[in-house]
Structure 1
Amino acid sequence: MLNNGKFFLPPPKDGSDFKELFKRTAAAGAGRPLGSDGFPAGPWTPELLAEAISQIDANRIGIDLRTVQLWFQENDKGISTANIRWLARIFGCDDPVATSEWQMELSEAQSRLTAKRRDGRKAGSSVAPEAPDIAQNATAPDETMPSVGLAGDADAKTPVRRLGLAMRSEALFSSGSPLNLPAAVFAGATALGFLSYVTGVHSASYDRMDGVVKQVGFLWAPNWTFVFMVFLPLFFVFVIELLAFWKFEGRLKLVAQADGTDSHDAWARNVESSSSTYWAVFLVCFVFAGIVQWIEVCLIPLMKGGGEYAMDWGKLAIVRPDVISVPEAMLFTGIAYLYMAISFYIFFAGLILLYTIAYDFCKIRKKLETRPEVDCRSQLNEVGLTLIRGIFRCTVLGILVAICMKGQSSYLTSAGENIAAWLIRDMSAAIFGLDNLSGTIGYRMPTHYSSLLVVISTCIVFLFGAIGLGTGNRFRVPLWKMSTVVALLVAGYLLIGAFSGFSILLGLGVLLALYGLFDPAFGRWRASEVGTNLNVS
């Protein structure tokens, strides 16, 4: 039946308890919009149902995903009075009359479940204490804090799973609008740009001891502008898109073939299994890359008036106190390095999620390969192609981040007046035989090391994804194209400042990489190359 453009089932009124009634109705997809072909869109999943309930205008505080998951599981948990109202609106397709009928049916089914549990206790059976799914109508914080469990939120024998760092990091990419995280990072970089303008270090130069006048302004540093305003926001966009595809579309297709019923719980367990990795990355990013690096590179030189590091906007107060004072520089650099530490932690968390997606795909594929009666090659090819394209895009952006970091560090030790003139001069030296100003000063360059870590981490994820996702001859051609671009980009990174004309190789790799962001396939893939009847562009 059709009601408000959705698939409607009338209440069965067959005396079922809540668990039996909910299981049948959710499996039928009651309340879901009809597909483009006019047929039901499929069964409800915990995520889809939780999202639908949270989008009801009158439901201002939403619903905890864990609560909805309890309805799907084989346990003795029922449903609270408040949630009966929202579930009735879903099953009733937002029709007042149908919603009223479903509300009565769900209330009676919950009463029958309560009576069954009471009879079980009287008979001496070991059943969990009577309680609804969760005290949804108690207070708003209990609705919106899935990490804090209530006594009645889970079975007595099942401990409440609290959200750790891994799941909270995953939630940064999967919760809320896909625009939130990229916009937050871009906004932070924009705020730093305004601060640099207010303090006067947005565009500033100084006379080096060898007579070179160098531009060291904040807005001239690609490792603070291009990285945080362009490359990292794009990286987060692609990770969010790929994660959403895997959780809500790709994984469900494959798990359905493998007869899996706990897709999202299994994904959560995969994420939580990397908890120690997230904590290690958190420690490195905040303690070493953030606090220790700020103290060593900025704070101590500002306090003592010197150092073994090249002059940049963060230490400009040492040679240009007329532009910015030392206290202002300390405060500004502290804010900037804190922002950098947060952004790079999220970046590495994204890489861990990409690795987890590829690893999860490999496990499901191996399970399916042990069942020859299930023909799922088409689904595996389709999902695998989508995943490898997304991982390639993220890999390209990660290496571009490292190129900006190393390029700025190399420029500061060179004889170029600004980074653009330095690159143009190097290109001219190779083409026209001009003086390349290759002389450098032996400053310490910690950014070379940190950028190398970014490249290695990013390439490891791509290599694992290429091996795990691209098995068989059907992936050979597209993977060779992607791998060639990645190798060329890494070569350009490694050879920055190594010889005259390095900028030509670097520019070629960057151009191909930027094209690969729009067309990871580098042309249309023939069906014979991917083993499906689809043309993937």
Structure 2
Amino acid sequence: MEKNGKIFVPPPADGSDFKELFKKMAAAGAGRPLGEDGFPQGPWTPELLADAISKIDANRVGVDLRTVQLWFQENDKGISPANIRWLARIFGCDDREATNEWLNELSSAQARLTARRRDQKKTGGSTATALRVPDTSAPEKNQVPLTPVVSVDLQTKPAERPRGLAIKTEAIFSHGSHLNLPAWIFAGSSALGFLSYILGIHSITYVRSDGIEKQVGFLWAPNWTFLFMVLLPLFFAVVIELLGFWKHDGRLRLLAEADRVRSSDAWTLHLQANSQAYWAVFLICILFAGVVQWIGVQLIPLLEQAQDFAPSWGTIGIIRPDILSTPAAIVFTALAYLYMSTSFYLLFAGLILLHTIIHDLWKLKRGTELVGEQRAWPDTSEIGLRIMRGVFRCSVLVVLAAICMKAQSAYLASQGPDFVTWLVRDVWAALADYDDGDRTFDYIMPTHYSSLLVVLSTCSVFVYGAIRLGDDRRLRSPLWKMSAVIGLLFVSYMLIDAFDGFSVLLIVTALIATYGLFDPAFEPAWRAREIRGDSRVS
């Protein structure tokens, strides 16, 4: 039968469990598109089915190939409620009525598989000798009551969610495309760059009282360009990908069949438990780092035409009023600090989400250990390694961002004419035993303090994850290597401008950390395949 240009097979309703039903439908190629000649193209393969499910528009996470492969294998692994929905879409050929019929049939088949496995545990029977539970209108003694299946809206209407700052913040990371948040951060920084170019402060110099000509243009400041245009978008992309994996795949693998339906509610409770942390971060970032810092560092000096801070693109109007007027500087700096404080709130919120994911995994792993379900341990190792790789990538990106902040602040107080020349002179001083004569000017540098808070917060999340998940022997070697890189980055941050030649250590560490973004475990490809091969997913 053909429906929407695909092969449609009606639900057989023959009392088969999920394994039997899926085997028949996969062999029949149910839901596969017809060929150009109008004939069937053949049965499903794991690769084809995984690709078809991942291409469903409403499925933002997709499905892991290993998960689909388990459906094809002779084992007791079933299917999660989330994947039942997508498989019903495939077998139902994207027809609403047919999808509802298949959703009912697959849910019933999964319930029969669950009942059969429960009977096997009671009787000690094998998979081959287990009796199949008949599909009758009256549930038998060992049959799991089926939840009535409601009509599925293929347009995927958004469900009502609890309110609160934690829930709304998490929705920014988890709803919509993975590119939305990184794109907005990049767009905001680009808009500020264009605005600075219009105002003429994108590249501007002034002569300091000691005769040094300093470049303080907006586009020359790595803490406003490289940080917001490269590092933060990458950070948010990693957090979003890791959050989606944990909510829709990793977490479900470690839950029993009966708990998977309530997985979303349990995750929401974890978010709400951290609501005070979100509010604390919101107040610190918006009120203090945003409003109070803008008033103290930008507004008051501009109004009084005097300052104790190092001149920058925001206060250049005090020294060169011919370039930037005071009203224009006030408006531009207000927009810049609003953008900065909002971005850093989202950054700290991302760190809280990473902490929540680690804590959630640790609790599930500990619960598995207490009940003695050793079958879940391979899943825990694979999931834990993937999560720690993501946490490591995020930590590297944030520490690099803090390095940009502190390095820019140190440059403004140095005798270097521009940021690049300042670093080159320091490298030359280390390699050629040359005294570049650089002496720090006496300025107040609040960015040193704020960047330190960023580094300590990030390292705390990574250390927490290493402690909670480090008891798994498969993770110990990768975690030691990741910890060494994070420690080296922290030392490099602390030693910025501490001695001549600090930039050599900084550059070498940055290169190692950049490589770690591509290979967080610092392992050869064959070792990574071995770890994945030893793991099982459900």
Q: Is the shorter-chain TM-score for this pair beyond 0.5, marking a shared fold?
A: yes
Alignment of 1:492-507 (within 5 A): 492-507=492-507
Q: 1:97 to 1:305 in 2, by over 3 A?
A: closer
- State how far apart, in whole Å, the 1-side matches of 2:359 and 2:467 are: 10
Question: Aligned to 2:45, which of 32, 36, 40?
Answer: 36
* Counterpart position of 1:320: 320
Q: 1:88 to 1:455 in 2, by over 3 A?
A: closer
* Counterpart position of 1:146: 160
Shift of 1:353: 0.5
Secondary structure of 1:10 counterpart: coil
Shift of 1:439: 0.9
* Structure 2: tracts of 5 or more residues without a match: 16-20, 33-42, 63-80, 106-148
The sequence identity of aligned pairs, in percent, is 51
Shift of 1:438: 2.7
Is the contact made by 2:381 and 2:472 (CA closer than 8 Å) also made in structure 1?
no
Shift of 1:431: 1.4
Alignment of 1:482-493 (within 5 A): 482-493=482-493
* Counterpart position of 1:267: 267
- State how far apart, in whole Å, the 2-side matches of 1:91 and 1:532 are: 30
- State how far apart, in whole Å, the 1-side matches of 2:316 and 2:386 are: 47
Shift of 1:470: 2.6
* Counterpart position of 1:120: none
* Counterpart position of 1:211: 211
Is the contact made by 1:193 and 1:202 (CA closer than 8 Å) also made in structure 2?
yes
Q: 1:526 to 1:331 in 2, by over 3 A?
A: same
Q: 1:50 to 1:501 in 2, by over 3 A?
A: closer
For 2:462, the aligned partner's letter is F
Shift of 1:32: 8.4
Alignment of 1:365-384 (within 5 A): 365-384=365-384
* Counterpart position of 2:58: 51
Alignment of 1:283-362 (within 5 A): 283-362=283-362
Q: 1:432 to 1:50 in 2, by over 3 A?
A: closer
Q: 1:35 to 1:420 in 2, by over 3 A?
A: farther
Shift of 1:376: 2.0
- State how far apart, in whole Å, the 2-side matches of 1:467 and 1:501 are: 34
Q: Which has the higher contact order (CA 8 A, sep 6+)?
A: 2
- State how far apart, in whole Å, the 1-side matches of 2:428 and 2:233 are: 33
Q: Would you say how many aligned residue pairs link Structure 1 and Structure 2? A: 455
Shift of 1:102: 8.5
Shift of 1:89: 7.6
- State how far apart, in whole Å, the 1-side matches of 2:450 and 2:252 are: 38
Shift of 1:523: 2.9
* Structure 1: tracts of 5 or more residues without a match: 15-24, 56-71, 74-85, 106-131, 148-161
Q: 1:40 to 1:393 in 2, by over 3 A?
A: closer
Secondary structure of 2:396 counterpart: helix
* Counterpart position of 2:125: none
For 1:146, the aligned partner's letter is E
Secondary structure of 2:403 counterpart: helix
For 2:306, the aligned partner's letter is G
Shift of 1:29: 11
Shift of 1:529: 11
- Please say if 1:453 is aligned against 2:478: no
- Give RMSD over aligned pairs: 4.3
Shift of 1:390: 0.6
For 1:275, the aligned partner's letter is S
Shift of 1:374: 3.7
Is the contact made by 1:474 and 1:529 (CA closer than 8 Å) also made in structure 2?
no
Is the contact made by 1:413 and 1:443 (CA closer than 8 Å) also made in structure 2?
yes
Alignment of 1:74-85 (within 5 A): none
Q: 1:493 to 1:164 in 2, by over 3 A?
A: same
Secondary structure of 2:440 counterpart: coil
Q: 1:492 to 1:5 in 2, by over 3 A?
A: farther
Q: 1:163 to 1:96 in 2, by over 3 A?
A: closer
* Counterpart position of 2:233: 233
Q: 1:100 to 1:331 in 2, by over 3 A?
A: closer
* Counterpart position of 1:516: 516
For 2:160, the aligned partner's letter is P
Q: 1:462 to 1:529 in 2, by over 3 A?
A: farther
Secondary structure of 1:206 counterpart: strand
- State how far apart, in whole Å, the 1-side matches of 2:160 and 2:174 are: 14
- State how far apart, in whole Å, the 1-side matches of 2:343 and 2:291 are: 14
- State how far apart, in whole Å, the 2-side matches of 1:99 and 1:267 are: 28
Secondary structure of 1:313 counterpart: coil
Post-superposition CA distance 1:27-81 (Å, at most 9, x none): x99998897338987xx9xx9999369x9xxxxxxxxxxxxxxxx89xxxxxxxx
Secondary structure of 2:266 counterpart: helix
Q: 1:483 to 1:171 in 2, by over 3 A?
A: same
Is the contact made by 1:414 and 1:440 (CA closer than 8 Å) also made in structure 2?
yes
For 2:167, the aligned partner's letter is M
- State how far apart, in whole Å, the 2-side matches of 1:390 and 1:263 are: 22
Is the contact made by 1:204 and 1:215 (CA closer than 8 Å) also made in structure 2?
yes
For 1:205, the aligned partner's letter is T
- State how far apart, in whole Å, the 2-side matches of 1:488 and 1:38 are: 41
- State how far apart, in whole Å, the 1-side matches of 2:261 and 2:100 are: 31
- State how far apart, in whole Å, the 2-side matches of 1:219 and 1:286 are: 24
Q: 1:39 to 1:186 in 2, by over 3 A?
A: closer
Secondary structure of 2:375 counterpart: coil
- State how far apart, in whole Å, the 2-side matches of 1:96 and 1:474 are: 45
Is the contact made by 2:378 and 2:534 (CA closer than 8 Å) also made in structure 1?
no
Shift of 1:230: 0.4
Shift of 1:277: 0.6
- State how far apart, in whole Å, the 1-side matches of 2:387 and 2:350 are: 14
* Counterpart position of 1:60: none
- Please say if 1:193 is aligned against 2:193: yes
For 1:435, the aligned partner's letter is D
- State how far apart, in whole Å, the 2-side matches of 1:243 and 1:528 are: 22
Post-superposition CA distance 1:229-260 (Å, at most 9, x none): 00000001111111111111111111148965
Secondary structure of 1:214 counterpart: strand
For 1:51, the aligned partner's letter is A
* Counterpart position of 2:11: 10
* Counterpart position of 1:111: none
* Counterpart position of 2:400: 400
Name whichever of 269-278 and 284-293 sits farther off.
269-278
Is the contact made by 2:8 and 2:92 (CA closer than 8 Å) also made in structure 1?
no
* Counterpart position of 1:176: 176
Is the contact made by 1:92 and 1:102 (CA closer than 8 Å) also made in structure 2?
yes
Shift of 1:184: 0.6
Post-superposition CA distance 1:85-130 (Å, at most 9, x none): x999887423488479889x9xxxxxxxxxxxxxxxxxxxxxxxxx
Alignment of 1:44-193 (within 5 A): 51=58, 92-95=92-95, 98=98, 146-147=160-161, 162-193=162-193
Shift of 1:145: 7.5
Is the contact made by 1:403 and 1:451 (CA closer than 8 Å) also made in structure 2?
yes
Q: 1:487 to 1:99 in 2, by over 3 A?
A: closer
Q: 1:366 to 1:267 in 2, by over 3 A?
A: same
